[in-house]
Amino acid sequence: MSLPLGSNTAAPPPPDAIRPSVIDSLRINLIANTSGMWKAEPVIATGRCSSNFFLMSDETSAPSGPTILIVEDNQLNLKLLNDLLEYHGYTILATSLGEAAVELARQHKPDLILLDIQLPDISGLEAARRLKAEEQTRAIPIIALTAFAMQGDETKVLASGCDVYVAKPFNIAELINMIASYTRQEGRS
């Protein structure tokens, strides 16, 4: 959206409008080469969003597989995870905020949560504690995806209620297999 010269604000979109997910940002297309490594190619894309979370594709079809809630404040990481998981048949909910993650988990009861630990509002550790303290969300498995890799970080993450600790950068194939084991979803090769 461009602003007229001399203007420093834009009119808000109508409440029912589909808006870009936070900003128009890079979407990552992943291409497997013959060695099985992944290559990222940026392309411009947008998704639909609301004030609390965003749906990562513009598809309006019914969910196709187990639902995964991705809680990640880095837009490139979020899009990478979204594209990988959609390719493998998962339905995605996503947010960059810990408070919104707790509310989304209550409302949608996803099959699995991928949770970053460093979030802009409450920490992923606090979000995990809240989720595990509530009867309706206690049984949802949580995989912590974090850049925290110092001695003692894994212990803190697991003590918060996360079921698994995965340090970034992570191995894509291993993560997909781990997610499949928690959701009983067969991955594609």
Its sign, for the CA torsion 178, 138, 106, 108, is positive
Assess if residue 137 is contained within a domain. Answer: yes
Assess if residue 57 is contained within a domain. Answer: yes
Assess if residue 111 is contained within a domain. Answer: yes
Assess if residue 172 is contained within a domain. Answer: yes
How far is the C-alpha of 54 from the C-alpha of 138, rounded, in Å? 23
Assess if residue 121 is contained within a domain. Answer: yes
Torsion-angle region of residue 169: left (phi > 0), alpha (psi -120 to 50) or beta? Answer: beta
Domain span holding position 54: 50-183
Assess if residue 127 is contained within a domain. Answer: yes
Q: Give the CATH number, domain containing residue 120.
A: 3.40.50.2300
Residue 111 has pLDDT above 80, yes or no: yes
Assess if residue 45 is contained within a domain. Answer: no
Looking at residue 150, its pLDDT comes to 79
Assess if residue 84 is contained within a domain. Answer: yes
How far is the C-alpha of 128 from the C-alpha of 138, rounded, in Å? 9
Which residues is 71 bridged to in the sheet? 95, 115
Looking at residue 152, its pLDDT comes to 85
Name the residue with higher pLDDT: 136 or 3: 136
The CB-side HSE value for 7 (13 A sphere, CA atoms) comes to: 8
185 Cβ partners below 8 Å, 6+ apart? 65, 66, 88, 89, 90, 179
Return the percentage of the chain with pLDDT > 90, whole number.
57
Mean per-residue pLDDT, 74-103: 96
CA 43 to chain centre: 19
Mean per-residue pLDDT, 99-126: 96
